[in-house]
Each structure stands twice: as C-alpha cells, then as structure tokens.
Structure 1
Amino acid sequence: MNVSADPGDRYVVGVDYGTLSGRALVVRVADGAELGTAVHEYRHGVMDTVLAVDGGALPADWALQDPEDYRQVLRRAVPAALAASGVDPARVVGIGIDFTACTVLPTLADGTPLCEVPELRTRPHAWVKLWKHHAAQPHADRINALAHERGEPWIGRYGGKISAEWQYAKGLQLLEEDPEVYRRADRWIEAADWIVWQLCGVETRNVCTAGYKGIHQDGRYPSREYLAALHPDFVDFVVKLDGPLLPLGARAGGLTAEAAAWTGLPEGIAVAVGNVDAHVTAAAAQALEPGRLVAIMGTSTCHVVNGAELAEVAGMCGVVDGGISAGSWGYEAGQSGVGDIFGWFVKHAAPAGYDSHEALTAAAAAQPVGAHGLVALDWWNGNRSLLVNHDLSGVVVGLTLATRPPDVYRALLESTAFGTRMIIEAFDAAGVPVHELVIAGGLTTNTLLMQIYADVTQRPLGVIGSTQGPALGSAIHAAVAAGAYPDVPAASAVMGRVERDVYRPDPRRARAYDALYAEYRRLHDHFGRGAEDMLLRLRAIRNAARRAADTLPAEAAEVSLEVVA
C-alpha cells in the first residue's frame, strides 16, 4: 500500500540499531503509517577476529564494534528515510532509538568513547562490546557464585544467574584484563543511552537497560560491599553507571544543532529515552497486555512479556518494574542464536543445490514431523535462557549415512522452537502465564518456521503487522516523548499493528512434536544440567589451541595442545 505524506500531519522517526546495520523509519503520528525507510550497513560490522584499526588478533568469543558506525546511521539512514518519505522535515516532532543489548562501551565524562582517544585506539577493551561478546563467561560465573554465597536479594530477579552478556560481567573483564582502560572509563554506558547522548547532548539512562542489564532493582544497584568482594577495585563500578534514570517514553532532551545537521531534522525536537530493540517492539506489536509474549526473531531471539505480578523465573534474563511499559512487571528471556544458526548452516554446511534458505525450507517442509530422526540443541552461540551459559555449544544427535541437508536444517529450525517452549514452560511454572505468541523480525517470512513454532509451543501465533517492528516501536516512544500521546499504551493502540492467530497449532503435529521435545529436554539436561561437561571441556581445548596458535610456532602449538588435552 502506498502511503503519502500530508503536509498538515506530524511525524516521528524511529531508528533501530541492529547487529550489522541501523535502520531509520519515518512514521505518521496520527495512525502509525510508515512512509519511508533506509538502512545503513556498519562499515566495520562485527569485529570478532581482528581489531580493524591495526589488524591485531582478538581472542575467542570477542565481539567488538566501532561507535562511529552508529553515528553514520544518523548521517546516512535518517536523511535517506526522510527523502524516501516525502515528508517535510519541519513536520517531524520527535526521534526515538532502540539498540541491541547489552551492547556497552567505556567513555570519558563528556561521552567520548575511549576507542577514540588516540593512545587507546589499539586497546581492544576500549571499544564497544557487542551483545554477543561472550568472553566474560568466567567473570559471570564468579558474579553468580558470590551473589548466591552472600544471599544477594537481586539475584533471584535474574533467574538465579547474571549473563556473560550483561554489564557487570563485561565490566569485571575490563577491570581484570586492562586495568588502565577501566580506570580511564568515567562512564560504562549502554550504546542505547550513548547514542541518545549524542542526539541531545544530555547523559541519561533508561529503566529498561538499567534493570535488565545493569542490576538496578528496587531503586538501587548492588552494594559496594558486594562489588569489593568481587574485586577491591570494582567497588566504584556503579559510579560509572550513574546518570539520570528515566522511564520509557520520556523526553531525554532536545535535538542538538550538531545532531540536527547530521540527520536533517529540526533542532530542538524531542529525543526519546533509549530502549532495547526487543522491548520496544512490544508496543509496535500491540502486545503490552499480560500473557502476550513477543518473540523478536533475528540473529538471536528475545522473548518479552508483561506480567501483572512479580515472580522469580529460574533461568530468565530478568524481571523489571516498568521494563517494557509502565505499570507492569516486564519479563525477558532469550536465545543467543537463532537466525545465526540457520545462516551458519547455509553458508558453511550446505552443499550445492541446498545453499539457500529457500531450497532447504522447501525440502524440509515436505517431511513429516520426526522423519529425519534427529534432535539438536540450539546452542551454537551459547545458551541465554534457561541455562545462562555461553560456553555451551551446539549438538546434533541421530546423524546417519542417510541424513541429508534438509534433515539437519529442519532439526535446527525445530531446536530453536524447542528452546522457546522451554522458556514458555518456565514462565508458566513460575506463575507468569503465556497465552499467545506474537512474532516479530525478519524470520516471520519463513512460513515453515512459524508453523513449527505454533505446533511445538501449542499456542496461536500472531505476526506483527510491520516489517520494521523495533523502528516502529521507537517511533511510538518518540511520539509519546513529543507529547502526542499521554503514554506508551495509548500510542501503541493507535500506531502499532498486529495480525493475530495467523498460525494455529495442528493437534496431530503437536502430538508428534511432544515426543521429539521430550528427547530435546533429555539432551538439554544431560549436557546443560547434568554431570556431563563435555561441551565446556571442548570449548576450553579450542580456546587453548587458538591462544597457542596466536603466540607459538606451529610445532610448539601442537605440543601445547597435547598438554592441554
């Protein structure tokens, strides 16, 4: 449907910062109509093998980004989206952004990223740590062990485990591996809050990332005594997090003259408080009511749902008062690899003739449930929920000489659905009901995958009525920040969109999946909850081999690996 701009209407811009690119979307305030969009790919993408500035090798499980790539989204994507929309920039009243999380960076007191300080350019710890930087798993393990040992009251709010992806694990890694960069960091700030700082010139923190990623509960951060027990020099960590904490949909400030020049937007318009890409999508999907779980499916999946009551759910990412919308307890869980797993198989494991998602999906769709004889664990990028362990890795069981590429591909699709079912069952068991799923993200176009999720979870699936869910959600929050609506639910009701019950579970397939799911759970508990730590040992051997290869001649590296093994 073609939507044209009306010179008398007001508009807002939503900017969605993803893993590899940023997208800008121009939206009409009156009805949520999407008029123009543009994407800017990050020049440096994800630095996970070498540091772009000098080519220096990065250790295993690192994932860094360049904050200048984020600024370029404002300079490139926003003006391009405006041009595509035909909207007069003078009619734009607000801008909102969302970000992957926990994506975090160290800065000076004025917001300058430490990677832009000349003498720190070649220090990897001075750069942005992307959400999937998983090298801080040992630090997360210590954070969790000490919290349980001391009986810290906040640990239950995070399902009993703080993730290696979150602020504290990455911050402790920074302190212990590069104390100078840690000392130079006046601020340790989520990229969502940092880009808002760039837009309005005012440092703010949003309640969403502060709660889920920054252990801010009941009005406070972890105590100095706890932090000192982790490491004497970690006692000041919360000082680096300190900043005005604002609710979602609030006005962080007005667009600065510099940011107006970048974006082509009017100086002084409302800049909304930052948000997380998954959480902001709930408003776009009109899914703020308790019991309606939104699964934002892309490279990874984040599951968010509002609840009327506070509950502690084992293995989830967190529960935060107002973390999704004011007046409800917002719950988050997630899977660290989903689309990335499917993409890995197509790129690295599928032979000619099956080297596309379309070809594999068509062949896999022709199979009855269970015909491949396989079950897989969806841990190619570790496990975010419910095990909260990023040293875990993927498993496929049942391979034979008769196994073909579509068999494995379907098993991988199903494994992610099984992981989502485990999350839903954990919510239900803790008294947080999930009645319906709403799916957002690029994977909604795979109808086989969507039907598998409906059959496996045995719940109806709705699909967000926008291909730009996070950007639309950010635009909705921008409209609230600009004063166009009294609150986020009111704006969501008008500007959001969803198609409900697009996929319904088939009883016959659902019964067949019950049998496969039982095998998934056995495999999940064997490698993730039992005494078998083979996956962790394999990870340790791999990391040791890589370290040896980076520092030793080939012959010596082989000897070193033999010693480790």
Structure 2
Amino acid sequence: MRYVVGVDFGTLSGRAVVVRVADGAEVGTAVHEYRHGAVERTLPATGRALPPHWALQIPADWVGVLRHAVPAAVAAAGVDPAAVIGIGTDFTACTFLPVLADGTPLCEVLPEEPHAYPKLWKHHAAQGQADRINDLAASRGEFWLSRYGGKLSAEWQLAKALQVLEEAPEIYARAERFIEAADWIVWQLAGAETRNACTAGYKGVFQDGTYPSKDFLAALHPGLGDWVSKVDGPLAPLGGRAGSLTARAAAWTGLPEGIAVAVGNVDAHVTAPAAKAVEPGQLVAIMGTSTCHVMSGADLADVPGMCGVVRDGIIPGLWGYEAGQSGVGDIFGWFVDTLLAGGTTHQRLTELAAAQRPGEHGLVALDWHNGNRSVLVDHGLSGVIVGQTLATRPEDVYRALVEATAFGTRTIVEALESSGVPVTSFIAAGGLLRNALLMQVYADVLRRPISVIGSEQGPALGSAMHAAVAAGAYPDIRAAAAAMGKVVADAYVPDASAADTYDALYAEYRALHDYFGRGGNDVLHRLRALREEVSR
C-alpha cells in the first residue's frame, strides 16, 4: 500500500492526514494548535498593542505543525513512513510575509517590528490602500480589475504590501522577497522557492501572464515600482512537483527524504477536487470561521464582487471563480463567547433556534461583522441586526445570524448566475457541516439541494490528492478526484414552505444590503472612522 500526507494550515491550528493512494481512505490524522494562534491584539515579542483590524501569525507555529502533527498522524495511521510517497500542503490566503533571499522570515530578524510579520488573511487594516488601488485602476482602465469583480480586496497581496511600504518603508526595503505562506511552507519542505499559480492569480493579480505594470505600480506609489521583482518567479501548476523533501524537513516530519513535495495551494481551492468538484458549475462552499466559494467555469465572465477569476486556478483547463464571506463561524463564535460571555453553548442555541419557524423571531441581520468580501468587497462595513425588541431572546439572534450568512451566500450565487456563470450544484465542506440546522437553512434559503463532502478533512484530503499527482500516482487531479474524492449527494433538500418565507426575508436582507452597502447610508463607515479616531 502507498500513502500520501496532506497538511492543512488553518487560522488557529494545522491538521495532518494520512491518506491511502488507491481509494482516498483517511487512515490517520492529528492536529497541532498554534502556540500564538492569530495575533490580533498584542505583539508577542514586545507586548506592544496592535492597531485595530490587524491580524498576524508566527512562522514558527507553522513549522510546529510539521514537527508535531505530521509524525502524530503517521503514528495514528500505524503505517510505515517508508510507504509514504508524497506530501502536499494548503494554507489560508492571502497570508503573506516578507522574507530575506534565503526564505528567513523578516520577523525573525526584526521581532519588534509588526510589519515584519506575516499578515493573516483577515488582516483588514489595508482598506485605505485597497481603495486607492481600485480608484487608480478604474481611472486607468486596467484590464485586470474586472477579474476581481471591479474591486481588489484589502486582504490581497498588493494592498498589504502597499501598507507596509507606506507605514514601514524600511521593512519594505529590507524585504528581499514577499511570499504567500502557501509557498513559504513548501520552501521549507523542498528547500527551493516556488510560486503556485493559484495564489499568484487570486491574491497576487497575476493575469494573462503578467503582474500589474511597473507604470501602474509607480503611479500608485513611487517606491512600489520594484514590486514585481519581490514576488516574481516561474509559476508552478497545481498538482506539480515543487521538489523533494529535504533532509531537514524529513527530520521534522519523520517522512522519507526525497519523497515528492507538491506545489502549494489554498485551503478552499484544494478542497474542490476532494469533493469531486472538477467540472464546470460545481460550486463548493468551504464553511468555517469564514466561507470561501469556489467553482470552475468553461468560459471567462466578469462577475461583480468576485475575489478573483483565474485560468487554471482550481482545475487545469478551466476558469476558476472565487468568492467569499469574511465572517461566518467567527460571527457565531463572537455572539456566544463575547455577547453571551460563554453563558451557553452553540449546541444549546442551535437546539432552541431549530424549534422556531422561519420568520418567527422577526429579525434580519447583515453578516458583515468581519466586513464584506463578496459581493461588495468592503472591509469597512460592519454587522447590523434589525427588528430586536425586549422580547428578543439569544436563540432568536443566533438563528438570525445563521440566516444572514445563508443570505450572503445566496447573494454570491445570484451574482454568478446573473453574470452568465451557471451554478449547477452546491457542495458544502468545512467544520460547519456538523450543524444540521445551519445546513438546512442554507438549503431552504438557496432553494436547492446541498451535497456535502464525504470527509471532515476536506482541505487536507485535497492536499494529499495533489501530493499523489505530484508523486506520479495519478496523471492529473481529475483522475485523483475520481479515485480519492468523496461526496454525499443531496444530503439536504429544501423545504418549500420554509423557502417561501425565506424569499420574503431575503428581499428585506437585500434592501438592507444595498442601503448600508451601496451608498444609501454611509453610517457604518462613519462609525468605523469614529472608533478608530477615538482609539488612537
């Protein structure tokens, strides 16, 4: 028997899974919690308070996953490490860091400098930079802007890099390379720098064989003219072999030196083949702290509010579409852990909320507690709950928040279809699959059946599948998906009566969505500005 290892680097922890090459059976898994988690309040090295909307990570925490989770997963599987033929990895994105030419993270050289650290995907402090990027690109008619729904996200590489340049120019100058964590971890495994086509396209604005022009970058900021030299390099195709496992990485992981190391990938995108979604129209929603919606299409279309449309970005030969919601599980966690101060559990609130009929609580919420990624692409927005009275109970708000995230997903599906990109099936993956109420609400709101991935480790399974391709066990990712992927068709089907009620509630959601998000009232931005001014 031959095996591969997939490693999924998440927001707070990393997970390794050992997978049998022949049929995708998951035979062992282990989790390693990051020591520092998501660094959002203070810099560990100094205790210095971070400004609002910052989110960083510590690279040593990622290496800890290789040192601990991978050997533990192999031990749990009870397999001989010599039977492992490859390792594949995926990462949150855009999680982006400045490094020296040899890959040393700049934060290890300058631990007292916040801008020297990796900026996690949910670092939203570069919204001002993103606004200026978008305004300039629109005024110049840059062709690539429409590939990102007309607005480049504050989460992506260019906005984060511009923030570093403007707020810490000495850090920008010291950084010899900037790199996605997805590629940095592969560098640590294989000993050579690679750049994957997925993150370069979706997060780095690499389109039609080129990055934004030097002329555009210099017009944005004179010091940004050299930007491409800090990120450029040959792009490796998904499923390709980045190199072989080095002796150092073999010592970390307990795996054989020289086995295949797959090209890096993004957690959401790598999940699609794990759910057998390798054909046009099959949308996969990876639902966790946030939700990422990915699907492939046969043709290129401009879709408002997309995070990116990239040729070969998910499946070779197809256009990969990405959208997302910046807060989903995080919103539920905020409500339970902060507003209710842990006074009850998600399970108990779900039980109480499930006893209600749609519309019974009289509430409508906007799911913008962590900003809006799609379709408004505005991280300056914030959450709204309408309809509360003195009779409103915690379970009412909890259900309204669940429904709000479903309405946000429906907005994305409608944006795709109205732009000529048909969604033929909806497949759910991620940790929120455990909540049956949430899944049923989504089926009712979307008015379509929801299939679910047949694995609790979707990204790690997808990474393992890419490792199998990189090791030569399968000719391409479609073949690997056919043998190793898992999906349960139509696990949730819509209830017609509930769907009718949700149509009415969705109309109210859209009215609020457009009023607060499209300029009807800019109060959410004004409140954010006031909060930031007072907190200085």
CA contact (8 A) 1:369 1:513 kept: yes
* Aligned counterpart in structure 2 of residue 175 of structure 1, from 143, 165, 177: 165
Number of corresponding residues:
536
Counterpart for residue 390 of structure 1: 379
- Pair 1:37 & 2:29 matched: yes
Distance 2:146 2:339 in 1: 40
Distance 2:73 2:358 in 1: 43
Counterpart for residue 127 of structure 2: 137
CA contact (8 A) 1:435 1:459 kept: no
Counterpart for residue 497 of structure 1: 486
Q: What is the CA deviation profile of residues 294-344 of structure 1, one whole-angstrom value per residue up to 9, with x for unaligned ones? A: 000000000001101000100110100010010110000000000000011
Q: How does 1:8-407 map to 2 (within 5 A)?
A: 9-117=1-109, 120-350=110-340, 355-407=344-396
Kindly state the Cα deviation for residue 531 of structure 1 after the two structures are TM-superposed. 3.3
* Aligned counterpart in structure 2 of residue 465 of structure 1, from 454, 459, 467: 454
Distance 2:38 2:535 in 1: 19
- Structure 1 residues 449 and 109: CA distance shift in structure 2, 3 A: same
Distance 2:164 2:479 in 1: 42
Q: What is the CA deviation profile of residues 411-431 of structure 1, one whole-angstrom value per residue up to 9, with x for unaligned ones? A: 000000000000000000011
Counterpart for residue 421 of structure 2: 432
Kindly state the Cα deviation for residue 351 of structure 1 after the two structures are TM-superposed. 6.8
Counterpart for residue 539 of structure 1: 528
Kindly state the Cα deviation for residue 493 of structure 1 after the two structures are TM-superposed. 0.7
Q: What is the CA deviation profile of residues 192-212 of structure 1, one whole-angstrom value per residue up to 9, with x for unaligned ones? A: 000000000110000000000
Identity level (%): 71
- SS of structure 2 residue aligned to 1:101: coil
Kindly state the Cα deviation for residue 530 of structure 1 after the two structures are TM-superposed. 2.3
Distance 2:176 2:105 in 1: 10
Amino acid at match of 1:171: A
* Aligned counterpart in structure 2 of residue 483 of structure 1, from 472, 481, 484: 472
Amino acid at match of 2:96: V
Distance 1:435 1:522 in 2: 27
CA contact (8 A) 1:203 1:244 kept: no
Counterpart for residue 519 of structure 2: 530
Kindly state the Cα deviation for residue 244 of structure 1 after the two structures are TM-superposed. 2.1
Kindly state the Cα deviation for residue 348 of structure 1 after the two structures are TM-superposed. 1.5
Counterpart for residue 423 of structure 1: 412
Distance 1:348 1:232 in 2: 43
Please report the TM-score for the alignment, with normalisation by the length of structure 1: 0.94
Distance 1:531 1:521 in 2: 12
Amino acid at match of 1:65: Q
- SS of structure 2 residue aligned to 1:13: strand
Distance 1:366 1:285 in 2: 31
- Pair 1:513 & 2:505 matched: no
Distance 2:509 2:414 in 1: 14
Amino acid at match of 2:85: V
Counterpart for residue 551 of structure 1: none
Kindly state the Cα deviation for residue 121 of structure 1 after the two structures are TM-superposed. 1.1
Counterpart for residue 557 of structure 1: none
CA contact (8 A) 1:16 1:98 kept: yes
Amino acid at match of 1:157: R
Distance 2:210 2:217 in 1: 13
Structure 1 stretches (4+) deviating beyond 6 angstroms? none
Distance 1:406 1:313 in 2: 35
Distance 1:360 1:16 in 2: 29
Distance 1:361 1:72 in 2: 35
- SS of structure 1 residue aligned to 2:143: coil
Kindly state the Cα deviation for residue 40 of structure 1 after the two structures are TM-superposed. 0.4
Counterpart for residue 432 of structure 2: 443
Amino acid at match of 2:350: T
